[in-house]
Amino acid sequence: MKLRTRIFLLFSGLSIFPLLLLTLISYQRYVKTTYQRMDEFSGHLMENATEEASRKLETIQDISYAFNYYYNDGSSLLRELEPYTDKDSIPDSYHYYQSYTNLGRTCRNLLLSDPAIFGIYVFTPCGYIFDYSSGENGTVLNGRDFEEEDWYQSTIALDGKYYTSTVQSHSMFTGSRRSVFFSKTLKDVYSHKLMGVLLIDCNPDIFDLSSVDTMPDITLITIDNSDTQDVIYTSYEDEVHAFDGRNIHTTQTDLPIAPLRLSVTIDYNTLFREFNVTGIMLILIGAILIAGMLIISFFISGYLVKPVEHLSRKMASQKGHTLISSTRYLDRTDEIGTLYNGYNAMVESLNKAVKQDYQDKLILLDAQMKSLEARINSHFLFNTLEAINSMAELDDNEPIATMSQALGNMFRYTLKTQSELVTVQEELDHVKDYVTIQLLRFDHRFHLEVDMTDEFRQMRVLKLILQPLVENSLYHGLKQCTQGDTIRISGRQEDSCLVIDVHDNGCGIDRETLEELRRSLMKEPSFTELGHRNRQSIGLKNIHSRIELYYGRGYGLTVTSAEGEWTNIQIRVPILK
């Protein structure tokens, strides 16, 4: 038998047996927990169903309480019934009409409180009936001797307790709808004299408990009369057939109106299948783990080749300028450990060389920046000084002082070396000084518009990126005020970037020149020797390269133009406050 096969069998036996044992123990404990959860579910369902049924029965009780309620002036609905307690002294129809009206105000409000109540009826000892109906099940029939009916006699015998009828179409009502009614004697609280019999006719849906039955397929909720065994409500039409021969669990409780009883029956077999999804997952996970250990056992025999494969993949995956070392197998003292330590040493050396190369390039970039700061376009200085000299010869006036002051401000700003970053407001002030001089040179034949909020003005950007763009718009876009007359600077925020647009309404750029300019901006930044500059060093390419090298890829300039109409140069930098 090969060594690799021996290792596979040994490792499989040591790993699969504990996993199998652990899976069986976990599944048994989960089954026990599942039955506890089913008992908790049964208890919560019983609690919610009892609370909901009791709340609905409180509606019936509140109607009877309304008749016993005494107002501050001593009046009550029972007082209205007092003249109708004596069979020998029956009030006339006028008094009946008054009492009917007085009782009607309260009874109709009670009817409106719950649409499941079909009617409220009061049967007085003298024979008068006060009937208030919603019209859903008609009203009581006239001419019947209610005192001889079973429900009436049973209500009198209960002496203040509720009588509950069966659910059916009762012949005592003119309507034909199925209903259930509750009746109760009304007695004076002081003399206990019989004032009448209250009957409340209700829609059987008043006991609808479907809102609390979260699993109707496996639960049966019933409300029945424990004395007569009559079913008032059931969530199943055929409860015996639905749960016949199943493992069921039944709990019962009495409701506030005796002898009504609430029963909750749950099919534990089906509920167990609903809750046993995790148990199945435990078995499945155990099987997957066993299969996984078999696979691991098979591949562990290739342990000696894996270090070399890992190192090969690591070397092949190296991309970019930063090389990644490996932290695996460094603690080995054999040839594999030596190989990995030598590789990491080589990676560290190369990373240092790349870092040094970048530092050298940044030094060159900084030197170019300082050279740019110290350099002022000689043609611009010549024209400016010539304008100053001409104005001085003509007249010693305010424009000369303005131009001189603006020129001094520009010198001071360009020679400022405290930081590479300045606020947008400082850049705008530098542009303002430049435009002040050019307005005097070109006799105010153009104007500058700035649309920038105070929030954007306080953000920090790289120095000397706005004025060269304005100069570019003046000389190349407006053609020194021969085409167009407006340069506009605006700022906005896009995601986490500050976007500044320098727009002019000059001659625009033809398509060929625009494409060439865009290709130039897309080229990698190039560095010159320290102290030397190429002809693009102060142009758009230089600004774009400075921004890209300072902030990273994705930032810089974007040029758009419509030939003969306008040119827009967009600056995109990250927001720095």
- Encode pLDDT of 176-227 as tens digits: 889 999 999 988 877 788 888 999 999 988 888 888 887 777 888 888 888 8
| Longest CA–CA separation in the chain, Å | 134
What pLDDT shows up at residue 531? 43
- Dist CA 422 CA 544 (whole Å): 17
- Dist CA 549 CA 556 (whole Å): 9
Cis amide leading into 259 (omega within 30): yes
Instruction: Return phi, psi of residue 196, to 5°.
Output: 155, 180
**Contacts with 306 (C-beta within 8 Å, 6 or more apart), sequence order:** none
What pLDDT shows up at residue 265? 86
Collect the ranges in the chain with pLDDT lower than 70: 1-4, 7-8, 11, 70-75, 237-246, 274-276, 300-333, 335-336, 356-390, 392-397, 415-417, 525-538, 577
Q: In this structure, are strands 194-202 and 117-123 parallel, antiparallel, or unpaired?
A: antiparallel
Predicted TM-score (pTM) of the model is: 0.46
What pLDDT shows up at residue 369? 62
CATH code at 1-303: 3.30.450.20
The domain defined by 375-574 folds into Heat Shock Protein 90 (3.30.565)
Whether 422 contacts 460, CB under 8 Å: yes
Strand ranges in 30-153 using DSSP code E only, listed in sequence order: 117-123, 129-133
**Contacts with 328 (C-beta within 8 Å, 6 or more apart), sequence order:** 307, 310, 340
Domain residue spans of the chain: 1-303, 375-574
Q: In the chain, how many H helices and how many E strands?
A: 16, 16
3-state secondary structure of 1: coil
**Contacts with 140 (C-beta within 8 Å, 6 or more apart), sequence order:** 119, 121, 129, 131, 146, 172, 173, 174
What pLDDT shows up at residue 529? 43
**Can you name the residues that pair with 449 across neighbouring β-strands?**
488
